[in-house]
Amino acid sequence: MLVLPRPPRRAWVRAFWIVVSVMVGGLVAVLAALLTLPAPLARFGPGPVGAGAALVVLLAGLLMPRLAVLGYRAWSKATRRYARFAGEALIAVWYPVLFGAVGLGGSALLRRRPEPGQTLWRAHSTLDADTYRSLDERPAVDTGGWLGRYARWAVRSRHLWALALVPLLALLAALETEEPEEAPAGIYTLF
């Protein structure tokens, strides 16, 4: 999903309109190949017809810039709405199924009140220096792209189920419509 930046700038609008022209041309060419064209057009064949359509759309946008801006804004609005909806829908399905199932297996969080007299301080030792090159607390040298590191972490930490999150994370990243906020105001986020 291509979410366009806001507010529109001239260069972005032009680029957008060129893409729209090419796509319209391609679509017309495909339709021309599938359907029977009227006689005056049939002699050109699908390719030239598609190219002609692309040229017409391109010229329309260049001669009437407002048309291109309107198209840009309409696309931007529609994709944002779609992205928001799709993101919500993805999470609505994925989150309870995946986390619900994992949660049934227990949690590393201490939620029940400990016995009186029991301390909540845990023995904790200094990290070994050979963990410094790793993004988690296990000895490793983390190199390569994020996906490889993620997969190695999932194996090392025995969170193999977290691999099922990769498609969701990738889709959510692709569906993100704005620059992500670092943290919502007013809370200490977990993240």
Partner 1 sequence: MNILGISALYHDSAAALLRDGRIVAAAQEERFTRRKGDARLPEQAIAACLEAGGLTAADLDWVVFYEKPMTKFERLLETYAAFAPVGRPSFRRAAPLWARSKLRIPEQIRTALGDPFTGRLAFTNHHESHAASAFFPSPFEAAAVLTLDATGEWGTSSIAFGQGHRLTMLREMRFPHSLGMLYSAFTAYCGFKVNSGEYKLMGLAPYGEPKYVDRILDVLADVREDGSLWLDLSYFNYCQGVTMTSEKFHALFGGPPRRPESWITRKEMDLAASIQAVCEMVVMRAARHAHRLTGARFLAMAGGVALNCVANGRVLREGPFERLWVQPAAGDAGGALGAALLVWHHYLGQPRHADPGDSQQGSFLGPAFDRDEVEVFLDSVGARYERFSDEAALLDRVARLLAAGQVIGWFHGRMEYGPRALGARSIIGDARDPEMQARMNLKIKFRESFRPFAPCVLREHVHEVVEMRPGEDSPYMLVVAPVRPELRRPLSAADLERLQHPDLRVRVSVPRSSVPAVTHVDYSARVQTVDAERHGRFYRLMRRFYELTGCPVIVNTSFNIRGEPIVCTPEDAWRCFAATEMDALVLEDCLLLKADQPAEAVIDAQAYRAQYELD
Which of 62, 102, 139, 151 is close enough to bind partner 1 by CB under 8 A?
Answer: 102
CA–CA distance from 173 to each of 73, 90, 148 (Å)?
A: 22, 12, 17
163 DSSP assignment: G
CA–CA distance from 67 to each of 8, 58, 64, 98, 171 (Å)?
A: 13, 11, 6, 45, 31
Cα distance from N-terminal residue to C-terminal residue, the chain: 26
Query: What DSSP string describes 59-87?
Result: HHHHH-HHHHHHHHHHHHHHHHHHHHHHH
Binding-residue total with partner 1 (CB under 8 A): 65
- Stretch of 14-22, 34-42, 61-69, 94-102 lying at the interface with partner 1 (CB under 8 A): 94-102
- Stretch of 14-22, 44-52, 54-62, 138-146 lying at the interface with partner 1 (CB under 8 A): 138-146
Report if residue 39 touches partner 1, rule: CB under 8 A.
no
Report if residue 114 touches partner 1, rule: CB under 8 A.
yes
Q: By CB under 8 A, name the binding residues for partner 1.
A: 87-88, 91-92, 95-96, 98-100, 102-103, 107-111, 113-114, 117-127, 129, 132-137, 142, 145-146, 149-150, 153, 157, 159, 162, 165, 168-170, 172-173, 175-176, 180-191
